Structure 1
Amino acid sequence: MYDILISKLRRCCSLKHINQLHGFLIITGLFNDDNFILSKFIETCSRIGFSQYGHVVFRHKYKPSIYLYNTMIKSSSLQQSSAKESIILFNTIRVAGLLPDSYSFPFVLRAVNRVLDGNVGRQVHGQVIRSGFQENVHVAIALVQVYSSCGYMEDARHVFDEMSRLGDVALSNAMIAGYAGVGDMDSARQIFQSMREKNVISWTSLIAGYVHVKRPEEAIEIFHMMKGEEDVELDEVALLSTLSACADLGALELGQWIHGFIHQRNMRMTVRLCNALVDMYVKSGNIQKALQVFESMPCKTVVSWTTMIVGLAFHGLGREALEIFSRMERAGTRPNEISFIGILSACSHVGLVELGRTYFNSMSSKYGITPKIQHYGCMIDLLGRGGFLQEAEDLVSRMPFNANAAIWGSLLACARTQGDSSLAAKALQHLSILEPHNSGNYTLVSNTYAAIGEWSEARLVRKTMRSLDVKKLPGGSSIELNGCIHRFVSGSVPNNAEAKEIHEILREINRQCKMEGCGQKKEDQLLTE
């Protein structure tokens, strides 16, 4: 009978099935006599979306066992909305004359993690110690996760150090993820390097952490190390994190290698992988490959459409971006806030001011999306580029936010293009407060005055810049060579093993430019840029 019941519970998929099985349990007496079957019944209720039904059944159970309590705590901990109920239920275990066991604590700590209440986490930790489960590695992992999520890294590290002698990989992974979550990648790397054994989660946690804190070079460095480990199989999560790093750096060569690896291993091209590939190709400059991956997707989400729209707009392909948006609407996919950033940017790139106004107004009227400061920024840029400087300035004054540096910077750039020295000076006045050390703002205003022949004003801006000790930051660039990213700063000399090879390539580029009649600088000038 057990096998038949378990089989029916696995196939259960509706409230009607739940009612039938509930009746069967009551008729056969299993409702009161068999906690195991009742536990499976409650798990089934939770699995198919009828958690409350399971809760009612539990409340009507006479003297539930700790096994049944654990099932209820676990089921309630799975959802944010019922996490507090899971904690309350845990606190009634002792009232019912029972004692929490090694399963009770990880389940309730998962609920504490969802509500992000560090004080409750400490209270549960106290019960862990009183119950003698502080040496249980699963409990320790749950405590590290709770303390890390709440930002209590000293507490998390204390729990970890108490158990680190066991050398448990999962515990070390939890500590690495905790440090990565708060941006302390140096500590995460230290834990990683001290591990005697590492699995794919260890590597992926470190890669994802570096991506999270905007240190993509280190993320790619760790990925290359991971590739060299024979006993570590690259999984989707590792590839997703690395593709994000490739997108941040424009590391096309490595991104293409990952794409080829996915096909070579016959990995399933999930929507998330396809979205990551499109994003990587877009940000690495291969828009055609991005379109190829996008068009091959049998199922596109709002993220898929939006990534392509934003990518096309970024590359100045405004009309193509607008066409993708039209297709998105015809496909019945509802745009989100980021979609409209791409659309408004696209309108700005192709100068479609009236269409941009229509889209901006439709955000709230048609889609119920309240424009954020980024949308106002796009609209102000669109109006400024189109020559509607007064309307752009009026929109700044009507915004329900204080204009940030990006908006005043956009107005300054438009004023420079349109030769409006008055607006440029006004924008600089605000930017000097928001970005007092940004030399580019002063340079733009000085150039605006110079363009219209107001040389004395231009010199005054330059003098002000010097008196405030605003330094002009040197330009920089990067290049991908043999899977590695090399960064260069204007005026510096590369100091690495590939410097000679890079110089040879620059000399060859210079030679070819001269042969084609476009080389205007001497070879030594090219090498110093």
Structure 2
Amino acid sequence: MLRSRLPRSSSSLLGIGIGALIFLSKYRGKRLISTTAAPDLVCLLKRCFDLNHIFQTHGYMVLRGLDQDNLLLSRFISATSSLGFSDYAYSVFTHKTQPDIYLYNTMIKALSQSHTHSAKEAIFLYNRIRFAGLRPDTYSFPFVLKAVVRLSAVKFGTVIHSQTIATGLDSQVNVVTALIQMYSSCGCVPDARRLFDGVRFRDVVLWNAMVAGYAKLGDLDTARELFDRMPERDVISWTAVIAGYAQMSLPDEAISLFRRMQLEDVEPDEIAMLAVLSACAQLGALELGEWIHNYIEKHGLYKILPLNNALIDMYAKSGNITKALEVFQSMKHTSVITWTTIIAGLALHGLGIEALDMFSRMERARVKPNEITFIAILSACSHAGLVEVGRWYFNDMRSRYGVEPQIEHYGCMIDLLGRAGYLQEARELVRQMPFEPNAAIWGSLLAASNIHCDADLGEHALRHLFNLEPHNSGNYALLSNIYAALGRWNDSGMVRKVMRDTDVKKMPGGSFIEVNNRVHEFNAGDKSHPQFDRLYEVLCTVNGHSKMVGHVQKGWWWWAASA
């Protein structure tokens, strides 16, 4: 509990919440003290952690008349909102008789950073500025534009843009930066670029806004071109492009840029680590992921929740589920994403029973599962062959947990039934789906027909896959294998002929290997690796030794030689 010496004074009760009213009722009729207590208020605000603390601090302010000072009241509103009590902060603001533009800006900033409803209130409050006889300044526009981004209200954003021109503030760097961020976040990157090109003096924040806009759009070539042109870069610049590569499933480029970032002595922060861990998870780069984990520990980086979640995901996808469990067990605070990630990791490693036990722990911890959690649960059932358990979770998702089954859940259930040999039930579930089956659904049926040698089901699935992904060679190969397993060689050859006639190319096989924190990719017939000649020489030597002992196996060297 906050402790402070309370004076025996009184003040107006306007704008005070119920908690503050109860607090002040003990001190009615006592004298008001001047604002010399302002330094104490700052200390009290730093020690606020819950709503009771906020009530006491507000009462402390009112008793001394500190709530009449716009600057001090602004600090109170900012602290209250940062603790998640923006509704209370807004209530206090609305009872202020003459708020100045600084107070308006503080309240707009607080509301724009909160939930969607508060973002709407931020825009409403911005519109009230002129009615109060005030004029928006260079802080008003960036704050309200954050609310525009949260609501994706680009039309209102263009109105604000025109107002910045009318007030003559459109050339201010922080205003232009906010406009570029708004247009980029709302998908209007060409508009953002026109603004960027029209600015004569650009700081690193402005460059970052434009680079991030292209990266989020997925135009990584332009993002990289701008990045390379930047006169100076900070950690945000690097992180924007690294994250862009990771999000577009280009982990090699992401990790390569991260290494360049290290060579240029740029210290990564938590967000940069989050981006590169995502790339490590995609590549299965365990050594680099472990190095990043050690770096986080050594440099005392703040372990934000998403960073711990990313570590769990990286370890699980890179093959070290034990380490993923260690990170999970060490976490003091978890979220539904944390639980879902560890459940999915256990399922990925074939530990279906352990994944279901973890889900039971999640329920005991009173963490409500979401739709992604059930994808992980059904996947765990599929890997463990737990058909009855999978049926129960699938059928009770809606009634017990309030989660509406989506096409991904149907896909998991069809995969579960298909793997277990319940092919007709899987086929019937496809017919009953309220969604149009996609390639993943028909692919699951085709894979199941391959496992259980059901040519009729394989033909049925492939007919649909012809239309959905006509150039996927794997689908043709599966059906050909089914025919071959049944001794139907003519049909198997016919499928191969169809592939040739329709110019369907077989995707080359490939593999990854991590050596000294670096991931190397090898594809059949690809000679682009810088050390190809040396690798080929070593593999030929190994093959020669294998022949001497009577063991010959076609491996990567054979694919390379046949290129």
- TM-score, scaled to structure 1: 0.90
Cα shift at 1:501: 3.5
Partner amino acid, structure 1, of 2:231: R
Count of matched residue positions in the alignment of Structure 1 and Structure 2: 525
Among 108, 112, 123, the alignment partner of 2:148 is 112
Conserved in 2, the CA contact under 8 Å of 1:310 and 1:321? yes
Cα pair 1:510 1:523 within 8 Å, conserved: no
Partner of 1:360: 394
Structure 1 residue matching 2:519: 3-state secondary structure: strand
Aligned equivalent of 1:179, options 214, 226, 229: 214
Partner residue of 1:135 out of 151, 156, 171:
171
Instruction: Select which of 101, 107, 111 maps to 1:76.
Output: 111
Asked if structure 1 preserves the Cα contact closer than 8 Å seen for 2:101 and 2:135, the reply is: yes
1:239 corresponds to: 273
Distance 1:377 1:31, change over 3 A: closer
Counting only pairs closer than 5 Å after superposition, residues 464-503 of structure 1 correspond to structure 2 as 464-492=498-526, 494-503=527-536
* Whole-angstrom distance in 1 between the partners of 2:337 and 2:97: 49
1:520 is displaced (CA, Å) by 3.6
Structure 2 distance, partners of 1:437, 1:186, is: 27
SS of equivalent residue, structure 1 residue 506? helix
Asked whether the equivalents of residues 514 and 520 of structure 1 are also in contact (C-alpha less than 8 Å), the reply is no
Kindly provide the amino acid, as one letter, of the partner of residue 502 in structure 1: L
State which of 203, 223, 238 in structure 2 corresponds to 1:188: 223
Q: How does 1:181-330 map to 2 (within 5 A)?
A: 181-230=216-265, 232-330=266-364
Q: Which moved more, 1:337-346 or 1:178-187?
A: 337-346
User: Structure 2: how far apart are the matches of 1:158 and 1:369?
Assistant: 44
Over 3 Å counting, the alpha-carbon distance change for 1:321 and 1:85 in structure 2 is: closer
1:81-92 alignment, distance < 5 Å: 81-92=117-128
1:506 to 521, 525, 539: 539
Matching residue's letter, 1:282:
A
Q: What is the CA–CA distance in structure 2 between the aligned matches of 1:305 and 1:512, rounded to whole Å?
A: 49
Read off the aligned partner of 1:263 and give its amino acid letter: E
Q: 1:518 to 1:170 in 2, by over 3 A?
A: same
Distance 2:523 2:555 in 1: 20
Note the alpha carbon deviations across 1:320-358, whole angstroms, 9 max, x for none: 433433444444443332232222222222322222222
Could you say if the C-alpha distance between residues 125 and 331 of structure 1 is closer, same or farther in structure 2, counting changes exceeding 3 Å? closer
Question: Which of 448, 471, 479 matches 2:482?
Answer: 448
Query: In the aligned structure 2, how far is the partner of 1:287 from the partner of 1:25?
Result: 53
Change (3 A) 1:481 1:54: closer
1:154-195: CA deviations, max 9, x gaps?
2211222233x4341111111111111111112211221112
Q: Which shows bigger deviation, 57-66 or 418-427? A: 57-66
2:158 to 108, 115, 122: 122
Partner of 1:397: 431
Percent identity of paired positions between Structure 1 and Structure 2: 55
Give the CA deviation at 1:362: 3.0
Equivalent position of 2:133 in the other structure: 97
Unpaired segments ≥5 residues, structure 2: 1-35
1:289 is paired with a residue whose SS is helix
Provide closer, same or farther for how the CA distance between residues 514 and 267 of structure 1 changes in structure 2, counting only shifts above 3 A. farther
Query: Aligned-residue CA RMSD in angstroms?
Result: 2.8
Match of 1:417 among 451, 461, 472: 451
Shift of the alpha carbon at 1:384?
1.3
After superposition, where does 1:32-51 map in structure 2 within 5 Å? 34-51=69-86
SS in 2 for 1:472: coil
SS class of match (1:93): helix
Equivalent position of 1:349 in the other structure: 383
Instruction: Provide the rounded CA distance (Å) in 1 between the counterparts of 2:544 and 2:227.
Output: 47
1:366 alignment partner, SS class = helix
Q: Distance in 1 between matches of 2:113 and 2:131?
A: 24
Match among 168, 171, 187 for residue 203 of structure 2: 168
Q: Name the residue aligned to 2:19.
A: none
Say whether the 8 Å CA contact 2:340–2:376 is kept in structure 1. Answer: yes
Q: Deviations over 1:378-397 (max 9, x none)?
A: 11111112111111111111
Separation in 2, partners of 1:421, 1:479: 37
Contact 1:167 1:196 in 2 (8 A): no
Deviation of residue 48 (structure 1)?
4.2
How far off its partner does 1:49 sit?
4.3
Amino acid at match of 1:112: V
With over 3 angstroms needed to count, the CA separation of the structure-2 counterparts of 1:304 and 1:115, relative to structure 1, is closer
Q: Which moved more, 1:315-324 or 1:22-31?
A: 22-31
324-333 or 198-207: bigger deviation: 324-333
1:25 is displaced (CA, Å) by: 5.7
One-letter amino acid matched to 2:531:
E
The residue aligned with 2:187 is: 151
1:224 deviation in Å? 0.4
- TM-score when scaled to structure 2? 0.85
Write out per-residue CA displacement over residues 368-411 of structure 1, whole angstroms, 9 at most, x where no aligned residue.
22222111111111111211111111111111111111111111
